[in-house]
Structure 1
């Protein structure tokens, strides 16, 4: 489930950053919306630190748009190091209903196919885009 941040890493002689979904937790919703805290682990396999000053993501579940989120979190991924970035996700009410209807047949396993795309802003190379896909267990979906 490694996410490749490919933008200008090759031009600078470095390897692309790697991003993994580290977790997803429920947050208090607002109105008809559902909210989650998405945790992303950003790994830097290079000999120099990488700074960032914002992140935006879009999450698809089962091939359909599900949630999006932004964060103005900033920081630095140390050389040959990693950091965890939190992004609050908002799930519009209609997306939640659409997904609930489509997830009935995968409720047994508690896992759903996902695709994540986003961008990490800032640093020497500017905005870096990333994508990832795999299987995700949403809070409250795990089978008993």
Structure 2
């Protein structure tokens, strides 16, 4: 059995109150946070290296919030027909001021095996569209949780 004197109980109550206050503050901070908008601005081919074809992808990141975004890093994938073809990461992200946008460049590579599987599948596929998915994971400095942004659609082959 643990015995706590009056002074210890006061300290314990104070710590509990502080934890509850911080938890409430974090919850209210996160509930007001809208996810950033991420779109592809440009894709440029880079010289091939040992790992195969590489691309420089320029993303446009818009901050629809009243607070600036300090981003630690972004990872990005492009899927076609549920095959992850392109992926990349960067930790060189500028601070994005409230209601502003910035461009972020990242280097991405192609998954050659998935590309070959996709090409084989396209030879057998009947249809005029390709389904795609862009997905970005954004990690923030501080207490903000990781945000995931996704866009899905179809590309017409005609």
State whether TM-score is above 0.5.
Answer: yes
Gaps of 5+ in 2: 1-26
- Over 3 Å counting, the alpha-carbon distance change for 1:105 and 1:86 in structure 2 is farther
**Comparing 65-74 with 30-39, which one deviates more in the overlay?**
30-39
Q: Any residues of structure 2 matched to 1:1-144 within 5 Å, and which?
A: 11-31=30-50, 33-103=52-122, 112-124=130-142, 125-135=144-154
- Over 3 Å counting, the alpha-carbon distance change for 1:36 and 1:13 in structure 2 is same
| SS of equivalent to 1:40 | strand
CA RMSD between the two structures:
3.0
CA positional deviation for 1:94: 1.6
Give the structure with the higher percent helix. Answer: 2
How many aligned residue pairs are there? 129
CA positional deviation for 1:128: 1.7
Distance in 2 between the 1:102 and 1:32 partners? 24
Contact 1:32 1:93 in 2 (8 A): no
Instruction: Considering Cα pairs closer than 8 Å and 6+ residues apart, tell me whether 1 or 2 has the greater RCO.
Output: 1
- Which of the pair has more CA radius of gyration? 2
